[in-house]
Amino acid sequence: MLLSFLSPLHLSSTALIPHRRFTSAALRTQPPPPPPSAPPQSPPNSLSLNPNNLNSSAPPPSLSCALQCPHFQSCSGCTHEYDLHHPSVVDEAAEFFKRHGVFDFTFDSCRLYGWRCRAKLAVRGSSANPLIGLYEEGTHNVVDIPECRAHHPNINAAVELLRKGIAELEVEPYDEDLGTGELRYVQMVVTTHMSSLPFSERYRNGKVQVTLVWNSRSETTPNSEKLNSLANFLWTNGGQRNKINLIHSIWANFQTSSSNIIFGNRWRHLVGERDFWEHVGGIDIYLTPSSFGQANTRAFDSLLRKLHKYVPYGSSVTDLYGGAGVIGLSLAVTKKCRSVRCVEINKESKHCFEKTVSRLPNVGDSNMSWHNVDASLEPLSWLMGSDVVVVDPPRKGLDDSLISALQSLSSVKRKAVTSTSSASNTKEEKRPWVLREREGSVSIQGSANRSESDLLPQTLVYISCGWDSFKKDCKQLLSHKAWHLDKAHGFNFFPGTESIEILAIFKRDSGLTPKKKVSKIKKPKKSSRG
- Extents of the domains making up the chain: 118-274, 296-508
Q: Find out whether 324 and 352 touch, Cβ atoms under 8 Å.
A: yes
Which residues are known to be catalytic? 465
Q: What is the pLDDT of residues 376-423, one digit of tens each?
A: 999 999 999 999 999 999 989 999 999 999 998 877 654 544 444 344
| Cα 471 from Cα 468, distance rounded (Å) | 5
Residues 6+ apart with CB under 8 A from 229: 169
The share of the chain scoring above pLDDT 90, in percent, equals 57
Instruction: Decide if pLDDT at 73 tops 70.
Output: yes
Known binding residues for S-adenosyl-L-methionine are 294, 321, 344, 392
- pLDDT band for position 113 (50/70/90)? confident
User: Is the pTM of the predicted complex or chain greater than 0.85?
Assistant: no
Instruction: Decide if pLDDT at 528 tops 60.
Output: no
Q: Give the CATH architecture of domain 118-274.
A: Beta Barrel (2.40)
Neighbours of 49 (CB within 10 A): 13
Q: What is the pLDDT of residues 17-52, one digit of tens each?
A: 333 332 333 333 334 444 433 333 333 333 333 333
Question: CATH homologous superfamily for 296-508?
Answer: Vaccinia Virus protein VP39 (3.40.50.150)
pLDDT for the residue numbered 87:
84
Mean pLDDT to the nearest integer, 302-323: 95
pLDDT for the residue numbered 465:
81
Q: Number of C-alpha atoms within 13 angstroms, CB side, residue 11?
A: 20
Tell me which of 150 and 166 has the higher pLDDT: 166
Pick the range with the lowest mean pLDDT from 9-18, 122-131, 248-257, 497-506.
9-18
Q: What is the pLDDT of residues 253-294, one digit of tens each?
A: 999 998 889 999 999 999 999 999 999 999 999 999 999 888
| Residue 237 Cα distances to 102, 270, 302, 349, 408, angstroms | 54, 15, 34, 33, 60
The share of the chain scoring above pLDDT 70, in percent, equals 76
- pLDDT band for position 451 (50/70/90)? low
Instruction: Decide if pLDDT at 365 tops 90.
Output: no
pLDDT for the residue numbered 269:
97
Pick the range with the lowest mean pLDDT from 48-62, 250-264, 317-331, 513-527.
48-62
pLDDT for the residue numbered 292:
84
Give the torsion through C-alpha atoms of 66, 71, 73, 75, to 10 deg: -110
CA-based nearest residue to 24, from 62, 69, 57, 65: 69
Q: What is the pLDDT of residues 211-256, one digit of tens each?
A: 999 999 888 888 889 999 999 999 999 998 777 889 999 999 999 9
pLDDT for the residue numbered 425:
44
